[in-house]
Amino acid sequence: MSAASSDGRAVSSRSAPGIAAGMSVRCDGIGFSYAEAHTPIPALRSVTFELAAGRSLALLGPSGSGKSTLLQVIKGLDTPEAGTVALDGLRPDAPGYDAARREVGLVFQTPELQLFATSAREDVAFGPRRLGRPEEEVQAAVEEAMELVGLPPEVFGGRHPYALSGGEQRRLALAGVLAMRPRLLLLDEPFVSLDPATRRELVRILVRLRSGGVTLVLATHDVDLAWALCDDLLVLDGGRVVASGPWDAGEAGRALRAAGRLREPFLVELWRRLGRDAAAAPPRTAAEAAEALR
Amino acid sequence: MKASIAQYYPGDSIVHRLDARAKFVAVATLAVALFVRDSFAGLAVFASAGVVAYGLSGVPVAWFWRAFRPLLWLIGLTFLTQLLFAPGEPFFSWWIFDFSWEGLQFAAFLSLRLLVLVLIGSVLTLTTAPLALTDGLAWLGRPLRRLRVPTDELALMVTIALRFIPTLLVELDQIMRAQRARGAEFGSGGPIRRAKALVPVLTPLFVLSFRRADELALAMEARCYQPGIVRTRLHPLRAGMPDAVLLAVTAAIVVAGLLV
């Protein structure tokens, strides 16, 4: 586990309640195409990157660049045609790989569309029950996950999922994945169509997960939020890796601009236009920027 | 996931270019004649008509086979039930079943008839786009409007249903993936377990479909859709000389099939 992230924020190894310690992931030459009639459409072309345990990765790229496909391949819902996904240092043929894969949580785009149970509590309990955990453990995981996403079980537990607001549904769906205690959490466009308050709430949850040590992969178009949340960067364009590695210097900003249809984070651009030294890391938040400019 | 419920094979053969209405009338007439006539000779006439039409359509055999394969079960089942339960002098008995020559003959005849029917019907569905077929049926159903049957609205319903099947299949795939990511398993265990595994899939699918239907209705209203008024079509149906020829040939085949 890395001792500190690029901007000096400590990455803690102690586990907060309901949060499991992170898992590393390493993709080696991943290739994948969608079988469409007679001509397969390539979605990923020899994608290679490495993410250390407990770090957070921003997965950026224009629509159709392969972000969602990569997440599904890491979770194992799609089998790559080429290359391997190593989890926790385990290759797919290693014993214990399946167990590691069950510790990968994937939150789909608009996950609230997948709620199905008759109560919030039951919906969150679905995942841990499928993992075959004993019932007391399931209930404990449900309580912790619901607390974590700001839906206290004593208030929301008995409510019908479809009686919740859109933002509450999104957080409930997230709780459904968190209750499985993922050590690697993959999020596909988690901020889409959220109001600012819910978005702030979700950022707060992700910050808590990260400081709890969970490894995060955040596929998003919101480059400013990604900048505030992520240590590492992986940019895809047309299924190829355009940039990857720690997200700190001006190099990453250039790669983002080069990848077409993308821009660098506002604060990075501001620092560049102000002529600040690119090697000195630009601020991650407005508060940090204000502090630096004062 | 591949969305291939419609068997339509896009093409530009002479059969493809025929008007949907003419093709439907021809197929319906042949189907009725096929069931009126009960001799192997008549069957042979209709079968060769079906084979010729299929040959003209230029649809690859593999494509036809894919659509046809599921029906083999039905035809096989028909054969078996007729063979086992048709009356006749048994030449062989086993347990409660009697096998007779009459039964064998009858079963073979019924299965062949079904086979020919499927072949002729397939030529229609393989060479006619679902939308053209719906439009054609709506046109043919026009006289029913006098009886206050809302034929155009029914046709629109079918059109919308066809349009949304691929969309729903994509959504179904997404939902199943999401539930698999949460540890759900489909296609394992006994029938009750399998049915229970579908609840997490069907609930969101229904909710989504209702929401979509609601939005579609609103969008149609916003674009001034009104039931019960005459509307023009983007692709008006046009019948011509080849369609007249088709109907004449069909009539000749029916007469031949009934007389041989």
Q: What does the pLDDT look like over B18-55, one tens digit per residue? A: 999 999 999 999 999 998 888 888 899 999 999 999 99
Question: Does residue A93 lie within any of the structural domains?
Answer: yes
Question: Phi-psi bin for B183: left (phi > 0), alpha (psi -120 to 50), beta?
Answer: left
Q: What does the pLDDT look like over B221-230, one tens digit per residue? A: 999 888 777 7
Mean pLDDT of chain B: 85
**A127: chain B residues, CB-CB within 8 Å:** 182-183
Question: Does residue A155 lie within any of the structural domains?
Answer: yes
What is the reported pLDDT for A249? 58
- Whole-angstrom Cα distance, residue A265 to residue A222? 9
Predicted confidence band of residue B5 (pLDDT cuts 50, 70, 90): very low
Say yes or no for a CB contact (<8 Å) between B183 and A108: no
User: Does residue A262 contact residue A235 with C-beta atoms inside 8 Å?
Assistant: yes
What is the reported pLDDT for A11? 41
- Whole-angstrom Cα distance, residue A104 to residue A87? 9
Question: Does residue A222 lie within any of the structural domains?
Answer: yes
How distant, in Å, are the alpha carbons of A112, A118, A278, B53 from that of A126? 14, 11, 47, 54
Say yes or no for a CB contact (<8 Å) between B182 and A35: no
Average pLDDT over residues B2-27: 80
Query: In sequence order, what are the residues at sequence separation of 6 or more whose Cβ sits closer than 8 angstroms to the Cβ of residue A62?
Result: A237, A259, A260, A261, A262
Map tokens 């994608």 to a residue: A47
B167 interfacial to chain A (CB closer than 8 Å): no
What is the reported pLDDT for B6? 52
What is the reported pLDDT for A14? 43
What is the reported pLDDT for A268? 86
The nearest alpha carbon in chain B to A182 belongs to B182
CB atoms within 10 A of CB B38: 12
A202 interfacial to chain B (CB closer than 8 Å): no
User: In this predicted model, which residue has the larger pLDDT, B195 or A189?
Assistant: A189
Checking DSSP bridges between strand A184-188 and strand A41-51, what pairing results, if any? Answer: unpaired
Question: Does residue A151 lie within any of the structural domains?
Answer: yes
How distant, in Å, are the alpha carbons of A19, A228, A292, A293 from that of A287? 27, 11, 9, 10
User: Does residue B171 contact residue B205 with C-beta atoms inside 8 Å?
Assistant: yes
3-state secondary structure of B230: coil
Question: Does residue A269 lie within any of the structural domains?
Answer: no
- In the stretch 1-20 of chain B, residues with CB closer than 8 A to chain A read 2
Burial readout A187-224 (b: 16 or more C-beta within 10 A, e: otherwise) = bbbbbeebeeebbebbeebbeebbbbbbbbbbbbbbbb
- Whole-angstrom Cα distance, residue A66 to residue A32? 9
* CATH code at position A165: 3.40.50.300
- Whole-angstrom Cα distance, residue A228 to residue A279? 18
What is the reported pLDDT for B226? 84
3-state secondary structure of A49: strand
The minimum CA-CA distance between B194 and chain A, rounded to whole Å, is: 14
- Whole-angstrom Cα distance, residue A216 to residue B178? 18
Residue B45 is encoded by which pair of tokens? 């006439």
Query: In sequence order, what are the residues at sequence separation of 6 or more whose Cβ sits closer than 8 angstroms to the Cβ of residue B4?
Result: B66
User: Does residue A103 contact residue A20 with C-beta atoms inside 8 Å?
Assistant: yes
Question: Does residue A255 lie within any of the structural domains?
Answer: no
Instruction: Supply the range of the domain harboring residue A155.
Output: 25-246
Using a 10 angstrom Cβ sphere, with 0-12 exposed, 13-18 middle and 19 or more buried, the burial of residue B65 is: exposed
If one counts the domains in chain A, the total is 1
Query: In sequence order, what are the residues at sequence separation of 6 or more whose Cβ sits closer than 8 angstroms to the Cβ of residue A131?
Result: A102, A180, B183
User: In this predicted model, which residue has the larger pLDDT, A182 or B199?
Assistant: A182
Average pLDDT over residues B58-84: 84
The pTM (predicted TM-score) of the whole model is: 0.76
Question: Does residue A294 lie within any of the structural domains?
Answer: no
Q: Amino acid letter at A264?
A: E
The ranges of chain A with pLDDT < 50 are 1-15
